[in-house]
Amino acid sequence: DTGVSQDPRHKITKRGQNVTFRCDPISEHNRLYWYRQTLGQGPEFLTYFQNEAQLEKSRLLSDRFSAERPKGSFSTLEIQRTEQGDSAMYLCASSLSIGTTYNEQFFGPGTRLTVL
Amino acid sequence: TQLLEQSPQFLSIQEGENLTVYCNSSSVFSSLQWYRQEPGEGPVLLVTVVTGGEVKKLKRLTFQFGDARKDSSLHITAAQTGDTGLYLCAGEGYNQGGKLIFGQGTELSVKP
């Protein structure tokens, strides 16, 4: 399977703990996006990378959140001192940006985070 | 702030019926993508529309991008129970790094 993969699929943690999620994009894709989706809503943009550079962060991404894409391949999203409001589905998507006016994003299966 | 209003939010129909989902905005988008999402899974890309007035067909699904690139619709003909799921529209703005603005989604239930 050469699609976007995410690990873990599910994570249950206690409030105050740190969690880290991993995303492996489609191999030739240079852009990688993180979104968050709460129940009954569409995904909301968090941040994105072009290769290893983080080019934009949403205001939704508080200073407890950090994302990296160290070698321009996989990415990690870390949440420190988790709060119950962080409970959501965290989605990763990747795309190939080659100078066209649009780029199709392909999503992974997501990581469901539950903060108790 | 760019927003996409998607309607209806919920739709319950009988197998064989037709339906249309609408996606509207006051903003202009460079492209608009439609996704379908199953519970507990990530969105799966159905189609991307790029040109104003463009119509794309995917079997029984017809997608249209408005002339002004501010709205889009998804029409399903003769719905089947396998069409049940959450349908999401997502717009890409100009010079926004490709980030997508999603509608709230339409939860479709097709009953046998």
- List, for residues B60-112, the tens digit of each pLDDT value: 999 999 999 999 999 999 999 999 999 999 999 887 788 999 999 999 999 99
Q: What percent of chain A has pLDDT over 70?
A: 97
Nearest of A6, A18, A22 to residue A83 by alpha carbon: A18
Q: Rounded to an integer, what distance in angstroms lies between the CA atom of residue B87 and that of residue A64?
A: 31
Q: Give the list of residues 6+ apart from residue B1 with CB closer than 8 angstroms, or none.
A: none
Q: Which chain A residue lies closest to B88 (C-alpha atoms)? A: A42
Contact between B99 and A101 using a beta-carbon 8 Å cutoff = no
Two tokens, residue B20:
């249309």
Q: Give the list of residues 6+ apart from residue B63 with CB closer than 8 angstroms, or none.
A: B34, B46, B47, B49, B55, B56, B57, B72, B73, B74, B75
- What is the overall mean pLDDT for chain B? 95
B54-63 CB contacts, 8 Å cutoff, 24+ apart? B63/B34
Backbone angles phi, psi at A85, to 5 degrees: -70, -10
Instruction: Quote the pLDDT of residue A61.
Output: 85
- B47 touching A, CB under 8 A? no
Run of H or E including A21: strand A19-24
The counts of H helices and E strands in chain A are: 0, 11
Backbone angles phi, psi at B94, to 5 degrees: -75, 140
- List, for residues A27-69, the tens digit of each pLDDT value: 989 999 999 999 989 999 999 999 999 999 998 888 999 999 9
Instruction: Quote the pLDDT of residue A101.
Output: 66
DSSP, res A66: E
Residue B21's Cβ-side half-sphere holds a number of Cα atoms within 13 Å equal to 30
Q: Which chain B residue lies closest to A33 (C-alpha atoms)? A: B99
Contact between A105 and B104 using a beta-carbon 8 Å cutoff = no
Interface test with B, best of A105, A106, A112, A114 (most B CBs within 10 A): A105
Place of tokens 């519970």: B39
Two tokens, residue A98:
């080659």
Helix, strand or coil for residue A4? coil
